[in-house]
Amino acid sequence: MPVDAISYHSAQDLVGDDEVEFLPEPAAKVVPLQPVKPARWRVLTVDDDRGFQRSLSFALSGELVAGRTIEHLQAYSMREAVQLLLRQRDIALILLDVVMETDDAGLRLVKSVREVLGNAEVRIVLLTGQPRAAPMTEAIRDYDISDYWVKSELTPARLSSLLIANLRTYEQLVSVAQARCGLQRIVESNNLLFGARSLRDFSARVLSEAAALLGLAPEGVLCARLRHADEPLTNRRISIISAAGRYAELVDHWLDELDTSEIV
């Protein structure tokens, strides 16, 4: 095929005999957390026509969408595609041939992605060299796909437009899904914190849930400025009340005892 046609217990229960004093935070510029974007978009092409796959690979190699290049993954059957999708959950777009090992292999793969793998974000575009294999109107109506193209009509310009539209849609859907998961995590975190019966238990849960909300490994320290009731206000030190990961052994140490520049 020619290249130009490619187609939470009270506060006293939590703190015991110690007093936890919350000091005002210094004024600072608030910088919202931004999700880390991958360096590339992952695009999977599924087609048993190796010549057409080569043409797609050539066309995708020069594409740049929102400052990110394309990482092209290939599968030559429904089985290969399913195995690859099980390993790679961040595929943004699938360019999928309708007819492969069977006449309905492409349509069966669409149902597997949506109903079995539960992947609602990846965009799927059907391609066909046989327009009558799956009528366009019925396919778009009955299956969760983004578009349907006849291979011979998929020019480089149309492929570029298709990539831009579907990759942007994928990014928006992922953002919405992450926000939904974040809200659910906050609700679940509140329930866990309410069940804490000691300061150590409470602080350990705070550290774990904070890491989960930020999408990080549970590693770090949680400190409190503590003093007993009979101590003067000037005798206050910062105690590590919870720690995780490589800092786990630092619990019950005073922060100023640590000889490390990593914790400030």
* Structural domains present in the chain: 11-30+183-257 (no CATH), 40-174 (3.40.50.2300)
Q: What are 237's strand-pairing partners?
A: 226
**Range of 97-106, 130-139, 186-195 with top mean pLDDT:** 97-106
Of 2-6, 67-71, 163-167, 176-180, least confident by mean pLDDT is 2-6
Structure tokens at 235: 């005798």
Q: What is the pLDDT of residue 142?
A: 85
The mean predicted confidence, pLDDT, of the chain is 77
Of 37-46, 122-131, 255-264, least confident by mean pLDDT is 255-264
User: Does the pLDDT of residue 19 top 80, yes or no?
Assistant: no
Average pLDDT (248-263) is 72
Q: Say which residues have a Cβ less than 8 Å from residue 106's Cβ, sequence separation at least 6.
A: 46, 78, 96, 97, 98, 99, 100, 126, 128, 134
User: Does the pLDDT of residue 170 top 90, yes or no?
Assistant: yes
Give the chain's length. Answer: 264
Q: Which residue, among 248, 196, 256, has the nearest Cα to 222 in the 3D structure?
A: 248
pLDDT band at residue 182 under the 50/70/90 scheme: low
% pLDDT > 70, the chain: 68
Map residue 125 onto helix, strand or coil.
strand
User: Does the pLDDT of residue 141 top 50, yes or no?
Assistant: yes
Q: Which residue has the higher pLDDT, 213 or 152?
A: 152
